[in-house]
């Protein structure tokens, strides 16, 4: 199992290595003749004005939070689903209760309009 | 030194350095990104402990959801994003002393605490056996009460956050 993770680690290192090599080699080898036009921001369309780090809408936060809740729910249900073959009815009912409680959370968020993009 | 030890030392060093950068970065957005690196290091540590399930959970929940939530809440806060106030004030040594006292107190208490060593029930079987974990979660003799309480906790978190966020939105308009 540890060997499987080793492959992921090797791919991680390669995926960090290749783009950084491309950038560094280009920075070393590339000729540098700057002028104001070249140094201006590469922008498609109108140049931005004001600060780019403005306050975002609260909807992003709510969406991320609803996602977090159901992410954790999926994590809890995954081991249960792996053991599904050897379970009795009682175990399945417990998981259904678990899901129903969270469905109530979804219903509440829905009713309150938290899922609507305004 | 074996290869695993080498990977552990590198990961631990990167994780600790990222954690220090998280609390010392001047911009909150950069602190959030350093936190992502620290959490990735913890995921690698879980993998090194042969606990693949928790490594995946670490990536999915902590990096995939909680770090994104933190970044969104940084973007929600007005002006704090570029705040450049001085990081230390006159009473920094009092805070350092208190933190040191709290740390030694916690270490002294935890050193004599039995809960650090597994005395209670553990999930039977091989650590990589996810089916055993799943059975223990719904087993009445296992962890079924914590399992259902976790669901209630998630419900409370969602209801509370929806209430607070929508309240704030109503106040702004």
- Asked if residue B173 has pLDDT above 70, the reply is no
Q: Domain range spanning residue B147? A: 3-81+125-169
Do the domain assignments include residue A117?
Answer: no
Do the domain assignments include residue B100?
Answer: no
Q: Taking residues B49-56, report their average pLDDT.
A: 86
Torsion angle defined by CA atoms of residues B59, B61, B63 and B67, in that order, rounded to the nearest 10 degrees: -170
User: Which of B33, B82, B135 to probe by mutation at the A interface, max A CB count within 10 Å?
Assistant: B135
Do the domain assignments include residue B158?
Answer: yes
Question: In this structure, are residues B75 and A89 in contact, taking their beta carbons and an 8 Å threshold?
Answer: no
Q: The domain that contains B158 carries what CATH number? A: 1.20.120.1200
B 113-172 residues inside an 8 A Cβ radius of A: 128, 130-135, 137-140, 144, 147-148, 150-152, 154-155, 157-159, 161-163, 165-166, 168-169
- Provide, as residue numbers in chain B, all residues whose Cβ is less than 8 Å from the Cβ of A61: 69, 72-73, 76, 161, 165
Q: The domain that contains A101 carries what CATH number? A: 1.20.58.1610
Q: What angle do CA B147, B148, B151 make, to 5 degrees?
A: 95
Closest by Cα among B32, B77, B166 to A62 = B166
Q: pLDDT for B103-114, tens place per residue?
A: 999 999 888 877
Q: Which residue has the tokens 């004030």?
A: B89
Q: Structural domain tally of chain B? A: 1
Do the domain assignments include residue A52?
Answer: yes
Q: Structural domain tally of chain A? A: 1
Lowest-pLDDT choice from A15-19, B96-100, B158-162: B158-162
**Interface predicted TM-score (ipTM) of this complex, two decimals:** 0.73
Do the domain assignments include residue B113?
Answer: no
Q: Domain range spanning residue A48? A: 2-111
Helix (H) or strand (E) holding A118, with range, is none
Q: pLDDT for A62-112, tens place per residue?
A: 888 888 888 988 998 898 888 888 888 888 888 899 999 999 988 988 888
Phi, psi of A98 (to 5 degrees): -55, -45
């Amino acid at each position: 199992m540890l060997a499987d993770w080793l492959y992921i680690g090797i791919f991680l290192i390669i995926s960090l290595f290749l783009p950084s090599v491309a950038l560094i080699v280009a920075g070393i080898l590339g000729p540098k003749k700057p002028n104001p036009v070249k140094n201006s921001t590469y922008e498609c369309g109108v140049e931005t004005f004001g600060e780019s780090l403005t306050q975002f809408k609260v909807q992003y936060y709510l969406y991320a939070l609803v996602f977090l809740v159901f992410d954790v729910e999926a994590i809890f249900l995954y081991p249960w689903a792996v053991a599904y073959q050897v379970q009795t009815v009682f175990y399945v009912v417990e998981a259904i209760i678990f899901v129903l409680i969270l469905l109530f959370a979804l219903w509440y968020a829905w009713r309150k309009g938290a899922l609507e993009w305004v | 030194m074996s290869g695993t030890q080498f990977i552990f030392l590198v990961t631990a060093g990167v994780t600790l350095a990222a954690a220090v950068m998280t609390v010392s970065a001047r911009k909150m957005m950069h602190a959030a990104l350093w936190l992502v690196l620290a959490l990735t290091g913890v995921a690698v540590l879980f993998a090194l402990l042969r606990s693949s399930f928790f490594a995946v959970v670490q990536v999915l929940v902590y990096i995939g959801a909680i770090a994104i939530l933190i970044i969104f809440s940084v973007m929600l806060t007005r002006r704090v994003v570029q705040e450049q106030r001085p990081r230390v004030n006159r009473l920094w040594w009092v805070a350092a002393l208190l933190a040191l006292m709290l740390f030694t107190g916690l270490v002294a208490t935890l050193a004599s605490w039995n809960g650090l060593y597994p005395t209670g029930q553990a999930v039977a079987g091989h650590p990589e056996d996810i089916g055993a974990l799943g059975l223990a979660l719904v087993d009445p003799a296992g962890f079924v009460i914590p399992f259902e309480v976790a669901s209630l906790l998630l419900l409370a978190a969602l209801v509370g956050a929806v209430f607070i966020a929508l309240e704030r939105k109503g106040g702004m308009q």
